[in-house]
Structure 1
Amino acid sequence: MRRSLLVVASFMLLAGVTAHAQNTGSIRYKWHDGQGLMHFSDSLTADAMKFGYDLVNDRGLVVQHVPRQLNAQERAAANKLAEEQAARQRAAQQIIDAEAQMLAAYPDEESYRISQQQSLDTIDQQIHTTQINLRSQEKALTDLLGRAADLENAKQPVPKYLADRIAEQRGVVTELRNTLHRQQGLHEQTVQQQAKELARYRELKAAQNKSAEQG
């Protein structure tokens, strides 16, 4: 399919060149090879298409430039670059759309700050719940350790089931402590991010108000 498209494209290019030649008189082809040497030809050659060429009229003036054909590697690189540029453009447009939606959803700073505080409140509630669970699990671990200590003080061996319970409970406590640490870190990150977002909101709002005044 791609080969067919290339054939059609080449045919259309030659047809355009022929029509151009008919409108401008005698046309020659000029190009530079890989060593930089200049060549002229009365017909379109493979080398001219490979390196790119100029259409020259009978007065020696360049009337059109046709860039060289890209090889497979160059086409792949060009396609990748185009895709990256398109992705950056989409990302930039998404930011513009998101900021426009933000201004529409929060017409004043007070409503925007309330929304930010609600997000923080959700994180704080999660932290509070984890702290309650952690205290409960730490107490359960303390009780198990106390039972084991009583047995050791009585010169009695600690049963395997009790040792296993202690190890399991330590794992629960450790996981809850890690969860609490992550949640507290998220709280701090959110506070910092919200400060930046609020500053951006103020910039956008000021620009919006200025535009309205000028309008």
Structure 2
Amino acid sequence: MRTTLLIAATVMLLAGVSVHAQNSGNIRYKWYDAQGLMHFSDSLTAEAMKYGYDLVNDRGMVIQHVPRQLTAEERAAANKLAAEQAARQRAAQEQANADAQMLSAYPDEESYKISQQQALDTVDQQIHTTQINLRSQEKALTDLLGRAADIENAKGTVPRTLADSIAQQRNVVAGQRNTLRRQQALREQTVQSQARQLAHYRELRAAQAQPAQ
């Protein structure tokens, strides 16, 4: 107890000496210029602020260091770096929150796999619906083309309305085929993504199962 009181008293005494030194009017400024030469001054100069300076008391002890002023480019770079670091920290925190929610929602791997399969089933259902629609639209196009062929075989002229209907139906079929390709690509991406997510889930579960150090 006496030792603790002695340490506290010493700290208070040193703090009092420092405050006295700063308020005594004996503070000087020390800095180094571009050539590395040391300078002292009783007042703060523009050059000292440019290169950074030390506050020195009457005993020659440095009581505070003030770094040099940053250029506009350095400030911009520092701000950019700070923003990038903050963004990385936010992303890491968001990932940690998402991981915690996932572990809470799916207490075991089987429940997680069921959730993944449900998502894949939704994509498969969309593909199946598009395939049905595509076959229907292709049949409609085939019927229109057959009518046009019959007219031409009879040495007749295909009416403008029928030709327009064929062109329109071809566009519908092309749109359905593009939709099907996109959905199939989405399914492939989903399978790959789910494989990565499952591996990540397993890593989290393994880390969770390890005893605390």
Same fold (TM over 0.5): yes
Q: How does 1:6-85 map to 2 (within 5 A)?
A: 19=19, 21-22=21-22, 26-85=26-85
Counterpart Cα distance in 2 of 1:53 and 1:123: 66
- Which deviates more from structure 2 when the two are superposed, residues 65-74 or residues 170-179? 65-74
- Which deviates more from structure 2 when the two are superposed, residues 71-80 or residues 118-127? 71-80
Counterpart Cα distance in 2 of 1:35 and 1:161: 89
Question: Displacement, 1:19?
Answer: 4.4
Match of 2:112 in 1: 112
Counterpart Cα distance in 2 of 1:30 and 1:182: 69
Question: Displacement, 1:76?
Answer: 2.9
The alignment's TM-score, normalised by the length of structure 2, stands at: 0.84
In structure 2, the gaps of 5 or more residues are 1-17
Equivalent pairs counted in the alignment come to 196
- Indicate the percent of aligned positions where both proteins have the same amino acid: 77
Q: Describe the superposition over 1:131-162 as per-residue Cα deviations: whole angstroms up to 9, x where unpaired.
A: 00000000001111111111111111111111
Matched letter for residue 93 of structure 1: Q
Counterpart Cα distance in 1 of 2:24 and 2:131: 85
Q: Describe the superposition over 1:50-91 as per-residue Cα deviations: whole angstroms up to 9, x where unpaired.
A: 221122344544332101122444333322221121111001
Match of 2:146 in 1: 146
Tell me the secondary structure at the aligned position of residue 75 of structure 1. Answer: helix
Q: How does 1:191-206 map to 2 (within 5 A)?
A: 191-206=191-206
Flag the 1:132–1:43 CA change in 2: closer, same or farther, 3 A: same
1:32–1:51 contact (8 Å) kept in structure 2: yes
Match of 1:127 in 2: 127
- Which deviates more from structure 2 when the two are superposed, residues 118-127 or residues 161-170? 161-170
Question: Displacement, 1:20?
Answer: 6.7
Flag the 1:139–1:55 CA change in 2: closer, same or farther, 3 A: same
Matched letter for residue 119 of structure 1: A
Counterpart Cα distance in 2 of 1:156 and 1:113: 61
Q: Describe the superposition over 1:5-38 as per-residue Cα deviations: whole angstroms up to 9, x where unpaired.
A: xxxxxxxxxxxxx947437984321223344443
In structure 1, the gaps of 5 or more residues are 1-17
Matched letter for residue 137 of structure 2: Q
Question: Displacement, 1:179?
Answer: 0.6
Tell me the secondary structure at the aligned position of residue 188 of structure 2. Answer: helix
Tell me the secondary structure at the aligned position of residue 176 of structure 2. Answer: helix
- Which deviates more from structure 2 when the two are superposed, residues 49-58 or residues 187-196? 49-58
Match of 1:98 in 2: 98
* Cα RMSD for the two superposed structures: 2.1
Tell me the secondary structure at the aligned position of residue 65 of structure 2. Answer: strand
1:29–1:55 contact (8 Å) kept in structure 2: yes
The alignment's TM-score, normalised by the length of structure 1, stands at: 0.83
Matched letter for residue 134 of structure 1: L
Tell me the secondary structure at the aligned position of residue 39 of structure 1. Answer: strand
Match of 1:174 in 2: 174
Matched letter for residue 56 of structure 2: V
Counterpart Cα distance in 1 of 2:204 and 2:41: 60
Counterpart Cα distance in 1 of 2:56 and 2:31: 10
Flag the 1:198–1:107 CA change in 2: closer, same or farther, 3 A: same
Counterpart Cα distance in 1 of 2:200 and 2:156: 67
Structure ID, larger Rg? 2
